[in-house]
C-alpha cells in the first residue's frame, strides 16, 4: 500500500492530467465541486500557519503591487494583438501564490515565513482585484453592466479566497482543538489538489473537443503561459534580490495557484483561456523540478 501511495504522490501531476484528459466526458460534470475544494485546501493550509510568523514588509506590498498592476498593464498591452493571449497573461499574473509555494521555498533555502505572509496578501489582493478587473477584461453577456458584474463576481471570489483565512483565525482563537486537527490534514489537501486538477483538466479538454477552431489558439495560449511563467519568476527573483530574498521573491511571484486561475477562466473569462492556466501548472512544476535539482547539486542557502 505504501508503494502505491508514494507512486501517487510522486506522479500526481501527470496522473491528474492523464485521468482528466482521458475521462473528461465524466469528470467535466464535477466542475461545481472546484470552488469548494479550493476553499477547503486554503482552509487546511491557513490552519497550519502560525499567526506569530505573519510579518508584512514593504517587500510584500511591492510584490502585491507588481501582481495586480502588472496584470492590468499586460492586458492593456496585449489586448490589441490577441484578446485570448491578453486574458491568459492577465489571469496567470493576477492569481495568488500557490499553497505549496512555502514548501518549495523552504527546500530551495528561501524564507518560508516571508513567503507565507505574502501568500495571505496575494489572496486578499486577488479577492479584491478580480471583481474589479474581470468585468473590464471580459464583459459579461446579457447586457450585465460593470456594477452588477462586480457584485456577481465578488459574491463568489471574495468568500472563496478570504473566508478560509478568517475561519482559520476564528478556529485558532475559539476552537483551537479543531484548528489543530485540521492543521494536521495537509495530506488531504494534497489529494484534493490532485482531484481538483483532474476536474479542471477535464473541463479544459472538453472545451477543446467541442470547439475545434480553438485548438491552434490553445497552442499559442500554452506558449503565452510559458513566457508569463518565465517573466514572473524572473521579476520575482530580481525584486527579491533587492531585499535579500531572491528565492522567496521568485516563488512568491512565479508559483501560482494555477488551478484557481483555470477555474476563474472557465467561470468568468473565455473558457479557452483555461488552457493557458492549465499549461502554467505544467511549466511552473517543470521549473520547480529544475530548481530543486540545481539546489541539490549546488546548495545556495544564502539567497533566502
d(CA 148, CA 134): 12
What φ, ψ does residue 97 adopt, rounded to 5°?
A: -65, 140
Residue 196, CB-side half-sphere exposure with 13 Å CA sphere? 24
For 18-44, the three-class secondary structure string (H helix, E strand, C coil) is HHHHHCHHHHHHHHHHHHHHHHHHHHH
- Residue-wise pLDDT for 250-293, tens only, equals 999 999 999 999 999 999 998 889 999 999 999 998 999 899 88
Q: What was the pLDDT predicted at 297?
A: 76
pLDDT at 303 over 60: no
297 vs 180, residue with greater confidence: 180
Q: Which helix (H) or strand (E) holds 107?
A: helix 101-107
d(CA 71, CA 115): 20
Q: Which three cell numbers stand for residue 33?
A: 465541486
65 vs 13, residue with greater confidence: 65
Q: Which three cell numbers stand for residue 291?
A: 530548481
**Cβ–Cβ under 8 Å, residues 195 and 10:** no
Question: What are the residue ranges spanned by the domains of the chain?
Answer: 15-303
Average pLDDT over residues 15-44: 93
Q: Which CATH number fits domain 15-303: 1.20.1530.20, 3.30.1360.20, 1.10.3730.10, 3.30.200.20?
A: 1.20.1530.20
- Residue-wise pLDDT for 128-157, tens only, equals 999 999 999 998 877 778 889 999 999 999
pTM: 0.91
Q: What was the pLDDT predicted at 302?
A: 45
pLDDT at 76 over 60: yes
Amino acid at each position: 500500500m505504501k508503494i502505491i501511495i508514494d507512486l501517487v504522490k510522486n506522479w500526481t501531476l501527470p496522473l491528474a492530467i492523464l485521468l482528466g484528459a482521458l475521462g473528461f466526458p465524466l469528470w467535466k460534470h464535477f466542475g461545481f465541486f472546484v470552488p469548494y475544494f479550493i476553499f477547503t485546501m486554503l482552509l487546511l493550509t491557513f490552519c497550519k500557519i502560525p499567526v506569530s510568523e505573519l510579518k508584512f514588509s514593504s517587500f510584500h506590498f511591492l510584490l502585491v503591487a507588481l501582481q495586480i498592476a502588472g496584470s492590468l498593464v499586460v492586458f492593456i498591452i496585449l489586448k490589441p494583438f490577441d484578446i485570448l493571449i491578453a486574458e491568459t497573461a492577465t489571469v496567470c499574473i493576477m492569481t495568488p501564490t500557490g499553497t505549496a509555494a512555502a514548501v518549495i521555498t523552504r527546500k530551495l533555502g528561501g524564507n518560508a515565513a516571508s513567503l507565507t505572509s505574502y501568500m495571505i496578501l496575494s489572496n486578499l489582493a486577488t479577492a479584491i482585484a478580480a471583481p474589479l478587473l474581470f468585468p473590464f477584461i471580459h464583459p459579461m453577456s446579457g447586457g450585465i453592466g460593470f456594477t452588477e458584474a462586480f457584485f456577481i463576481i465578488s459574491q463568489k471570489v471574495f468568500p472563496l479566497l478570504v473566508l478560509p483565512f478568517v475561519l482559520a483565525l476564528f478556529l485558532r482563537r475559539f476552537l483551537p482543538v479543531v484548528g489543530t486537527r485540521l492543521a494536521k490534514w495537509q495530506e488531504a489537501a494534497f489529494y484534493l489538489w490532485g482531484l481538483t486538477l483532474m476536474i479542471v483538466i477535464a473541463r479544459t479538454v472538453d472545451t477543446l473537443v467541442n470547439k475545434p477552431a480553438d485548438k491552434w489558439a490553445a497552442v499559442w495560449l500554452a506558449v503565452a503561459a510559458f513566457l508569463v511563467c518565465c517573466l514572473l519568476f524572473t521579476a520575482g527573483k530580481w525584486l527579491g534580490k533587492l531585499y535579500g530574498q531572491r528565492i522567496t521573491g521568485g516563488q512568491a511571484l512565479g508559483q501560482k495557484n494555477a488551478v484557481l486561475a483555470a477555474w476563474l477562466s472557465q467561470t468568468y473569462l473565455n473558457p479557452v483561456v483555461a488552457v493557458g492556466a492549465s499549461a502554467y501548472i505544467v511549466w511552473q512544476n517543470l521549473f520547480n523540478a529544475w530548481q530543486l535539482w540545481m539546489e541539490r547539486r549546488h546548495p545556495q542557502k544564502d539567497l533566502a
